[in-house]
Structure 1
Amino acid sequence: MATQTRSGPPAALPRPGRDPRADICRGLALWMIVINHTPGNWLGGFTLKNFAFADATEAFVLLAGYAGAFAYAGQADRQGWAPAAAALIRRIGKLYVAHIFLLVVFTAQVGFSAATLDRAAYLDELALDPFAEQPYRTLLEALLLRFQPHFLDILPLYIVLLSLLIPGLLLRGHPWAVLTLSLALWLGVREAGFNLPRWQEGGWFFNPLAWQVLFVAGFLLGQAARGAPSIPLPPRSPWIAALALIVLGLGVLGMIVSEHLPETMEELPLWFSDFLVGIDKTSLHPVRLLSMLALTYLVAAYVPRDWAFLRSRWVWPFAAMGRHSLPVFCFGILLSFAARLLLEQYDGWRMQVAVNLLSFGALVVIALIADWARETVRPKPAPSPAPQPLPGTA
């Protein structure tokens, strides 16, 4: 008998468990986003952005790509491209609805606060004043993702990145092609200065055509972690670790000089100060990309996935938040503005402690509710039917 060959997607890989490192890091990133979005929060001086040319947004995007490899590339391997693409479309739809809902609630929160407290500056500072000037046009532009107030530009970025992943899944078995196309697009966008249009204000604050390179880096890292075709990862090496630490150390020095030592900044050579000022976030400057990759290498190479501490009570709140990034992020945006209002009333250490403890606790509660909801709606396996007696043995 002739041997039949089968064409189609590669054989499905066994589905690995969740990576606690990714959940914890995502939870930390979400917590930092809340802190950084709260003006006057003393903890803002201790977040990642103060110690590297990268911040929680870079971590969030890279981890989104990492999770995408497990969720969607894994599904494509098991079921084919079409079901995975359909799952991506459903996720994009959920993100879009969440973004519009968050926009409406955030606008109401800020607008009501501005009217009640007579602080019209809130609307101008958060770029919500077009709602007062052209409400119908502003709403239309918001639905088209061309109007993005401050703090509400991360979900549109995520929507575009997941949209690019739909055709990208077709190349999941060709990692070098994926990396080459991604790098070419990133470099081309930076060189041409191209960006997606934004109503009234030029381009998007986070240019998704540039930030996709960080998403792709996370995707390829996830592919390697689950044993799928990927780029060979750098081995665990003290030399590579030393180089990564040098990159991060230079970032610390650069941030200290540029943010906290203006006198020293003025004494530096003009080319060096111009270089520091030119490390842009919109099109993901190479220094920002390199900083995040250096930090990722250190975590991936020197924090074991099975380390018992990662499942201890000390870090479980961050892991819980990381498992439910969408509700935690949306609630965190609203929470950060409420925290700002409290800190503006009284900025003493007691209020600082209270605001940060209450904010952190509220985010953990949201994550626990999401955990409970997921377990409640998850379909339970049907019980096995009772064995039937053989004929004539009853």
Structure 2
Amino acid sequence: TWQFLFVIGIAGMLHIKRGGEIRFNWMMASAAVLYLVGALIWVRLPLWGIETASGLPTVLTGFDKTFLSLSRLMHILAIAYLIVAIPALSNLARTRPGHPLAVLGKHSLPVFVAGTILAMIAQVMKVVSPGGLLYDAILISTGIALQFGFAYYLEWLPRIGWGGKKRQSGATLPSAALKPA
């Protein structure tokens, strides 16, 4: 489910890097705002049960984090569109390249995988030793710190010559120059 969101994000990023843009459109922005307000009302009133009363499959109407239902997909796409298309919101979300959140975002997929593994380990630890509020705070803080540490580790690797793009030395000849005439 989350892989689909990563693919949507990557596709959007590639579109922008190739010179494309995501322009503001009043119809799209209005639809996004209306959807988000509707979702807020649905959750705050609460109107739980409407999604199942409609008789539609859970894939379309479910609100469970386990699956990426249509309602959850539309929610994240509406938020993402408004942040990207409205310059004031986009500028609020912008950070410098060395900012900790930017470093985390630059390595989002490996950090996400590490976070998933850490969450599984933490679930086992909670079953073995339920602990209390302090235990939970230490467990969560440690997981967050490990994810940031992992992101900075991945950022450091290319500086020491591991990973990243390979540097070509000036003495390297093109392969065409090595062929006999």
| Shorter-chain TM band | 0.5 to 0.7
Secondary structure of the structure 1 residue equivalent to 2:61 = coil
- Measure how far apart 1:58 and its partner are: 5.2
Q: Does 1:235 align with 2:12?
A: no
- Distance in 2, matches of 1:349 and 1:302, equals 40
Q: Which residue of 1 aligns with 2:151?
A: 367
Q: Structure 1 stretches of 5 or more lacking a match?
A: 1-54, 70-221, 385-394
Could you tell me how far apart the structure 1 residues matched to 2:157 and 2:10 are?
A: 22
Q: 2:10 aligned with 1:64, yes or no?
A: yes
Structure 1 length-normalised TM: 0.34
- The 1:253–1:342 alpha-carbon spacing in structure 2 relative to 1, beyond 3 Å, is farther
Secondary structure class of the residue paired with 1:310: coil
Q: Residue 310 and residue 372 in structure 1: after superposition, are their counterparts in 2 closer, same or farther (change >3 A)?
A: same
Which of 330, 333, 336 aligns to 2:113? It is: 330
Higher relative contact order (CA 8 A, sep 6+): 1
1:248 is matched with 36
Contact 2:36 2:78 in 1 (8 A): yes
CA contact (8 A) 2:35 2:78 kept: yes
Q: Which residue of 1 aligns with 2:85?
A: 301
Matched length:
163
Q: Structure 1: how far apart are the matches of 2:110 and 2:149?
A: 11
How has the CA–CA distance of structure 1 residues 284 and 270 changed in structure 2, closer, same or farther, with 3 Å as cutoff? closer
TM-score by length of 2: 0.65
Structure 1 counterpart of 2:177: none
Alignment of 1:143-154 (within 5 A): none
Tell me how far 1:381 sits from its aligned partner: 5.7
1:351 aligns with 2:128: no
CA contact (8 A) 1:58 1:292 kept: no
Residue aligning to 2:61: 279
2:97 touches 2:103 (CA, 8 Å); kept in 1? no
Of 303, 318, 324 in structure 1, the residue corresponding to residue 101 of structure 2 is: 318
CA–CA distance in 2 between the matches of 1:356 and 1:284?
25
Determine the C-alpha separation between the residues in 1 that align with 2:44 and 2:93.
35
Structure 1 residues 351 and 244: alpha-carbon distance in aligned structure 2, compared to 1, 3 A threshold: same
Q: Write the distance in 1 (CA, Å) between the matches of 2:67 and 2:120.
A: 27
Compared CA separation, residues 56 and 249, structure 1 to 2 (3 A): farther
Offset of residue 270 of structure 1: 7.3
Task: Give the structure with higher Rg (CA).
Answer: 1
AA at the equivalent of 2:96:
R
RMSD: 3.9
- Counterpart contact for 2:52–2:61, Cα < 8 Å: no
